[in-house]
Amino acid sequence: MQKRGTGKDLPYKDPGLSPEERVKDLLLKMTLEEKAAQMMCVWNEKNDKLVDEKGNFDAVRARESFKDGWGIGQVGRPSDAGGGRNAREMAVMTNEIQKFFIEEQRLGIPVIFHEECLHGLAARDATSFPQPIGLAGTFNRELIKELYSMAAEEARVRGAHQALTPVVDVARDARWGRVEETFGEDPYLVSQMGIAAIIGFQGDAEFKNRKNLIATLKHFAAHGEPESGMNCAPVNVSERILREVVLFPFKEAIHKGGVISVMASYNEIDGVPSHASKWLLRDVLRTEWGFEGFVVSDYYAIWELGYRPDTHGHFVAADRKESAVLAVKAGVNIELPEPDCYLNLVDLVREGKLNESQLDELIEPMLLWKFRMGLFDDPYVDPGEAEKISGSDENRKLALKAARESITLLKNENNLLPVDLDGIGTIAVIGPNADRSLLGGYSNVPKHDVSVLAGIKSFVGDRAKVEYSEGCKITIGGSWNEDEVVPGDPEEDRKMIAEAVKVAAKSDLIVLAVGGNEQTSREAWMLNHMGDRTSIDMVGRQDELAKAMVETGKPVVVFLFNGRPLSVNYVSKNVPALFECWYLGQETGHAVADVLFGNYNPGGKLPITIPRSAGHIPAYYNYKPSARRGYLFDDVSPLYPFGYGMSYTTFNIGNVRLEKDSIPVGGSTSVLADVTNTGEREGSEVIQMYIRDLVSSVTRPVKELKGFEKLWLKPGETKTVKLDITPESLSFFDIKMDYVVEPGDFEIMIGNSSSDKDLVKLVLNVKK
């Protein structure tokens, strides 16, 4: 098909016009079929329609598949074409696909390529940093911004334009397999990390430097607290909790981060699936909050408004046509990942069940951002630049920095840590997570990937002997992509434990790497691919392995790697040193070695409570006053509280004071504290501010995080931290569901964890 002209004949091709003017002109020229095509995407189908078996662009297939000349809105995950593309190959391929749509489709509308960037671009040879649950433990906004800016550039230089990230779900159930994808259990922390990620992805949202891309908030909404901890299950919360906890990070990310895209969630709220919810996607998101971007569906979720046999259905639609009607009326701009229910759009308009103007409304913001990103004018990328930037040494250093800051020290009995190599002859590195890739879900194969064992060997060199034993299995294989999960064999595991004991007995130090793997905590996306659990104990014989190591009498240091909190009661009680690592990304081994041997002082904090058992769930810290009265035969407290994390040095938080201890409704003040490093090592501390309304018209949580600041202090150094208390810090939805500050006394708490024993408390009076 011949490429059309530019200029006066086709004003939308004129870069001298504003994006808004160009969209208006383009809409006038589009047929109904072309409009519908902009609301569709190809993902796996690109392997049949756009590329050959090796992932190279296939012009013959493309011309046959798109012979009508209508184009397509998006192409999903070009990085996985033909089994996976490296940076140069992907850049070449996206250029060729883009050239085809611009030059050989009737109107030459470019496509948006989207990618997964949960913890770095999930593509071959890209940089993989810690999972979001680990990143949240850094409490470092600037670091989060840098990481997602890096991920954006690595994706953009390959040809991608949209990241299906960040996840700002508030995770309130440790049984749920997607906890690792979130920034934890606290809405304020989640919002702060989410805003930082969006700014990293989108920059100033001008896109002139060609290093940024569109961020996508997900999953809107309430995906993080599913019934029974089961992925995609209904979420049963009141509107007050929905607004104050669940929707808060989304609202903040839209208003303070300027996010361009939102992904609707699989679950239902109050009987209405998100993809069919006019209240959620129109009344709240667009009308109330003023969101002007576009909503993408989660993969296959519009189909699931009816019934999808291999997973589940909501049964609010009889067939795909009805599903399409519900989604369009609710405001879902584009269906991902394949042409499916929205294939019926043209017929639905012709049958009078939808109006063409409804399609215009939904494609307008998507076309607008194609113009604003320059895709009509300069859409191509430099394959050489892509190869140079992807997985670069500079990016690797940033991934290592993030891995170090994500590690949280939970226990250090008798100051066993850091380990002095001068007193060590042999180190036994033991455990099912000691010599394997530990990236977590939504990963590919990064250019570098360092195991715990490799990292320790590299650090130690010839200063000590390093021996290894696997100890036991968690599951056989353990890959995120393997549907079937095969538990380890008890008899074989116990033989392996016996071998590990022999190795450990010859050592001076045992480093034990246990926890979970990519199968024991993951997104449960089909009936044959589960990832949620009824227990949060370690899988298999890992506790037996830990006990066997402790009984050798050697000092044991445990590193936990897992996607969700684990109830490690035996380990917590019996081993002298314990780290929570979550998933640290490609630099795992180097970060572990740096922390173990004192090359880096750990400063991570828990972004989510670690419960004593699944029976303690929900265990989040910001509970209501009547919620933790006690259990028969058990302790109601968590194993480790939100915000907790130790250091190799000590800190004193003193002279805590309010700038003003009385303010009017609508007024502001600040709380200040002097923080001193009272130990002998440089280190970081996270000063956390919690607030409680002591008497209120509706029940309020016992404390809520409303501010934090991370400080780095040299030995003996003191810094003063100042945290603002604004009306936003004190507001909530009152008995009338008005968002207000009520007069009265507020407890202001300052410390280094959410635990009462770690907090200094003051009272702020708010007057009428």
549 touches 496 (CB < 8 A): no
The answer to whether residues 368 and 295 belong to one domain is: yes
Are 442 and 513 contained in the same domain? yes
Distance CA 210, CA 394 (A): 19
668/647 Cα distance (integer angstroms): 33
- DSSP structure class, residue 109: P
CB atoms closer than 10 angstroms to residue 351: 10
Q: What is the pLDDT of residue 7?
A: 46
5 lies in some domain: no
- Quickly state the pLDDT bin for 423 (edges 50, 70, 90): confident
CB 214 within 8 A of CB 158: no
Cα 331 from Cα 334, distance rounded (Å): 9
- Indicate the pLDDT class of residue 111, thresholds 50, 70 and 90: very high
640-670, pLDDT tens digit by residue?
Answer: 999 999 999 999 999 999 999 999 999 999 9
89 contact partners, CB below 8 Å, separation of at least 6: 55
* CA–CA dist 281, 361 (Å, integer): 14
Give tens-digit pLDDT for 625-635.
999 999 999 99
Instruction: Look up residue 188 and give its two tokens.
Output: 């304020």
Looking at the structure, do residues 384 and 411 belong to the same domain, yes or no? no
Cα separation, 248 vs 682, in Å, equals: 36
Q: How far apart are CA 354 and CA 332, in angstroms?
A: 14
CATH code for the domain of 189? 3.20.20.300
% of the chain surpassing 90 pLDDT: 98
Per-residue pLDDT of 33-91, as tens digits, reads 999 999 999 999 999 999 999 999 999 999 999 999 999 999 999 999 999 999 999 99
Closest CA to 404 of 594, 560, 577: 594
Domain stops at, among 388, 423, 446: 388
For position 495, which CATH number holds? 3.40.50.1700
Q: What would the pLDDT profile of 692-740 be if each residue is shown by its tens digit? A: 999 999 999 999 999 999 999 999 999 999 999 999 999 999 999 999 9
Distance CA 249, CA 243 (A): 10
Q: Are residues 92 and 181 in the same domain?
A: yes
Domain boundary among 616, 643, 660: 616
The rounded radius of gyration (Å) of the Cα atoms in the chain is 27
Give the mean pLDDT of 555-566: 98
Would you call 644 helix, strand, or coil by DSSP? coil
Residue 3 pLDDT grade (very low, low, confident, very high; cuts 50, 70, 90): very low
**Strand (E) or helix (H) holding 24:** helix 19-29
Q: Note whether 343 and 439 are same-domain residues.
A: no
pLDDT at position 1: 39
- Bridge pairing between strands 509-515 and 426-430: parallel
Using CB atoms within 10 Å of the CB of residue 679, give its burial: 0 to 12 exposed, 13 to 18 middle, 19+ buried. middle
Which tokens sit at 4? Answer: 């059309």
Decide: 217 and 272 in contact? Cβ < 8 Å: no
**Domain-located, residue 118:** yes
pLDDT-based confidence at 478, cuts 50/70/90? Answer: confident
| DSSP annotation string for 41-74 | EESTTHHHHTB-TTS-B-HHHHHHHTTT----SE
Phi, psi of 267 (to 5 degrees): -75, 170
Q: Hey, how many other C-beta atoms are within 10 angstroms of the C-beta on 576?
A: 16
Residues 489 and 536 in one domain: yes
Q: Tell me the mean pLDDT in the region 325-334.
A: 98
Contact 77, 116 (CB under 8 A): yes
Q: Residues 300, 424: one domain? A: no
> 456 and 602, same structural domain?
yes
Is 541 part of a structural domain of the chain?
A: yes
Tell me if 638 is assigned to some domain: no
Report the 10 Å Cβ neighbour count for 67: 10
CA angle 50, 55, 59 (to 5 degrees): 35
Q: Which of 344, 359, 388 is the endpoint of a domain?
A: 388
Say whether pLDDT at 263 is over 50.
Answer: yes
What distances in angstroms separate CA 579 from CA 11, 374, 566, 616, one per listed residue? Answer: 60, 46, 12, 22
Percent of the chain with pLDDT over 70: 99
The sign of the CA dihedral 438, 223, 406, 648 is negative
Identify any residues that bridge with 689 across adjacent strands, giving them in sequence order.
707, 750
Q: In terms of domains, do 310 and 208 share one?
A: yes
pLDDT(6) > 60? no
Q: Which residues contact 338 (CB under 8 A, 6 or more apart)?
A: 40, 41, 42, 43, 44, 45, 300
Let me know if residue 641 belongs to a domain.
no
Residue (of 368, 327, 370, 330) closest to 345 by Cα position: 327
> For residue 15, is it within any domain?
no
pLDDT at 192: 98
For residue 268, give its domain range.
23-388
Is 147 in a helix, a strand, or coil? helix
What are the residue numbers of the active site? 298
**Domains of the chain: total:** 3
Give residue 471's pLDDT: 98
Instruction: Report the pLDDT averaged over residues 524-541.
Output: 95
> Any idea what the CATH number is for the domain that residue 723 is in?
2.60.40.10
Copy the structure tokens of residue 411: 């226990």
| DSSP 8-state symbol, 341 | G
**Does one domain contain both 597 and 666?**
no
Question: Do residues 435 and 384 both lie within one domain?
Answer: no
Does 337 sit behind a cis peptide bond, omega within 30 degrees of 0 on the bond before it?
Answer: yes
- The answer to whether position 301 is within a domain reads yes
522's tokens: 């993951």
Is residue 573 situated within a structural domain? yes
Identify whether the C-beta of residue 35 lies closer than 8 Å to the C-beta of residue 363: yes
pTM of the full structure? 0.97
pLDDT of residue 5 exceeding 50, the answer is no
Q: Which among 680, 590, 649, 599 has a CA at the least distance from the CA of 420?
A: 599
- Residue 254 phi, psi dihedral angles, 5° rounding: -75, -45
Rounded-to-integer distance, Cα 654 and Cα 671, Å: 12
How much is the pLDDT for 8?
55
pLDDT confidence of residue 240: 96
Same domain, 135 and 256: yes
